[in-house]
């Protein structure tokens, strides 16, 4: 007799995730404005093979096909984003009726297929016009986002009840304006003070999104952040190493999660950044610290930490041949699903936690005999979800999991080479082929547990 599956709670939410700029295409159709990634991808050498977002997965025209495929796989929850420049081509000013109409059609199609939307308001596609007026270092973006959030929540309150404010703040701030900013849109390299201001302004946008959902979301509307928190694993499960890992976790998340849940910047953080602290206006932290309904965590990789004589912790360097996906950044550390959610609970006490992204990318996944045998992704899912099951069993309030990604898509600097999807996309023909991992994940959803 086969062993019983590791069962998840009855109300556990299983879903898939994507982002508008990575799958929609139609980059300049029906009044959509230029985004910073539309511009950045056209700079020679910035994106592999010169790939652009112009067509992507052509989801703009094929969403009905994609939702029918989700339904066939048993997917009932879908995390997606709305393209800011499709709603406000210039970032602010007059909204684009064709953009609003597109998402109405999209949400209607989801409803026809029994799929619940979980909507991210901002997933990296800042309107280029706002970048031209200062970008994330400027409060011009904050004011424009406030109007955008109000417009979108009002428009779709009858069809959307689950909202994420922003996705991975450090990726569109530090990575776009910091020391390595030349490798990510918009491609600027600014001072530490300017970078810290981008973080602060992004937090204000998070606050405006919460405010918009509370004001316009209607009965049952819920809202929270989707964050790629710094995650780590204690080298041994001893009190000393766990304490050291927790200290590292707190230090690493003092610029995003900490102020949202505490309503101020930690003294330790302000001491660390010294004279590079951002400008904080009266009322900022009332907005930033407004209560949320859940915390979304995008968990991929982490560090190993242990106690160290003479220091609060020591981070161990990984050996060159440590297990990784394609792309050296994604070192596979399944234990972060347990430790990141546990440390989040212990330090910030979110009401609920959702894994808003988790997945792995590989460069060569051909369709052979009508299928993609991605056993490496299947093992990834099994190991990471096993650690998540442990966390839930110990009382961590994890309520759902969204695999990244539903479709192979535009993977930022890696273009269309790096594939994260559980569904293969032939970008020449736009044919969709569910991979072995899609069938595996479909089985997990069906039995609400790991085989």
Reported as a single tens digit per residue, the pLDDT across 311-350 is: 999 999 999 899 999 988 999 999 999 999 999 999 999 9
User: Which of 83, 108, 80 has the alpha carbon at shortest distance from 32?
Assistant: 83
* 100 pLDDT higher than 70: yes
Domain count, the chain: 1
Greatest CA separation for the chain? 65
CATH number for the domain spanning 269: value is 3.20.20.80
In a domain, 289, yes or no: yes
pLDDT of 1 reads: 66
Confidence at 4, pLDDT banded by 50, 70, 90: confident
DSSP 7: E
pTM above 0.85, yes or no: yes
Residue 262: which H helix or E strand, with range? helix 257-262
* In the chain, % of residues over pLDDT 90: 97
Query: Which residues contact residue 239 at a Cβ distance below 8 angstroms, ignoring those fewer than 6 apart?
Result: none
Give tens-digit pLDDT for 109-145.
999 999 999 999 999 999 999 999 999 999 999 999 9
C-alpha 146/C-alpha 124 separation (Å) is 16
In a domain, 187, yes or no: yes
In a domain, 72, yes or no: yes
- Count of CB atoms within 10 A of residue 188's CB? 19
Q: Are 362 and 419 in contact (CB under 8 A)?
A: yes
Confidence at 41, pLDDT banded by 50, 70, 90: very high
pLDDT of 181 reads: 83
Long-range contacts of 187-196 (CB under 8 A, 24+ apart): 187/40, 187/43, 187/46, 188/135, 190/137, 191/276, 192/273, 192/276, 193/275, 193/276, 193/277, 193/278, 194/137, 196/255, 196/273, 196/276, 196/277, 196/278
C-alpha 380/C-alpha 375 separation (Å) is 8
In a domain, 378, yes or no: yes
* 3 pLDDT higher than 80: no
- From residue 400, give the alpha-carbon distance in Å to each of 177, 291, 341, 354: 32, 20, 12, 5
The DSSP bridge partners found for residue 119 are 80, 163
- Count of CB atoms within 10 A of residue 355's CB? 27
pLDDT of 183 reads: 87
Domain that holds residue 302: 6-450
C-alpha 38/C-alpha 183 separation (Å) is 14
DSSP 93: S
C-alpha 331/C-alpha 320 separation (Å) is 10
Name the residues annotated as catalytic.
168, 357
Give tens-digit pLDDT for 193-217.
999 999 999 999 999 999 999 999 9
In a domain, 1, yes or no: no
């Amino acid at each position: 007799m086969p062993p019983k599956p590791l069962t998840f709670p009855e109300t556990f939410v299983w879903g898939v995730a994507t982002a508008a700029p990575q799958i929609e295409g139609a980059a300049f159709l029906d009044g959509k404005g230029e985004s910073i990634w539309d511009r950045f991808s056209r700079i020679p050498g910035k994106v592999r093979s010169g790939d652009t977002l112009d067509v992507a997965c052509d989801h703009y025209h094929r969403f009905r096909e994609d939702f029918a495929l989700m339904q066939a796989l048993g997917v009932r929850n879908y995390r997606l984003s709305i393209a800011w420049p499709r709603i406000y081509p210039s970032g602010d000013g007059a909204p684009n009726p064709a953009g609003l109409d597109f998402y109405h059609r999209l949400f209607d199609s989801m409803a026809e297929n029994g799929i619940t939307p979980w909507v991210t308001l901002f997933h990296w596609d800042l309107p280029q016009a706002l970048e031209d007026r200062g970008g994330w270092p400027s409060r011009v973006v904050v004011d424009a986002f406030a109007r955008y959030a109000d417009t979108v929540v009002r428009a779709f309150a009858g069809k959307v009840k689950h909202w994420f404010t922003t996705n991975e703040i450090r990726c569109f701030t530090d990575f776009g304006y910091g020391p390595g900013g030349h490798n990510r849109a918009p491609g600027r390299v600014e001072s530490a003070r300017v970078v810290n201001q981008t973080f602060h302004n992004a937090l204000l946008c998070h606050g405006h999104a919460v405010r918009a959902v509370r004001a316009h979301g209607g009965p049952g509307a819920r809202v929270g952040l989707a964050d790629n928190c710094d995650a780590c694993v204690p080298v041994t499960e001893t009190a000393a190493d766990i304490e050291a890992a927790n200290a590292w976790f707190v230090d690493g998340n003092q610029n995003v999660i900490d102020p949202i849940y505490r309503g101020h910047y930690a003294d330790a953080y302000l001491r660390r950044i010294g004279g590079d602290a951002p400008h904080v206006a009266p009322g900022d932290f009332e907005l930033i610290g407004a209560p949320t309904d859940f915390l979304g965590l995008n968990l991929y990789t982490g560090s190993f930490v242990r106690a160290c004589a003479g220091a609060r912790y020591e981070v161990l360097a990984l050996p060159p041949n440590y297990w990784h996906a394609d792309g050296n950044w994604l070192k596979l550390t399944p234990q972060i699903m347990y430790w990141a959610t546990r440390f989040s609970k212990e330090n910030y006490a979110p009401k609920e936690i959702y894994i808003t992204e988790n997945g792995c990318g590989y460069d060569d996944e051909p369709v052979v005999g009508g299928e993609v045998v991605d056993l490496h992704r299947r093992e990834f899912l099994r190991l990471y979800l096993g650690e998540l099951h442990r966390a839930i069993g110990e009382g961590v309030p994890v309520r759902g999991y969204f695999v990244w990604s539903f479709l192979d898509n535009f993977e930022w600097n890696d273009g269309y080479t790096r594939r994260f999807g559980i569904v293969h996309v032939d970008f020449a023909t736009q044919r969709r082929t569910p991979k072995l991992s899609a069938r595996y994940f479909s089985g997990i959803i069906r039995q609400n547990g790991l085989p």
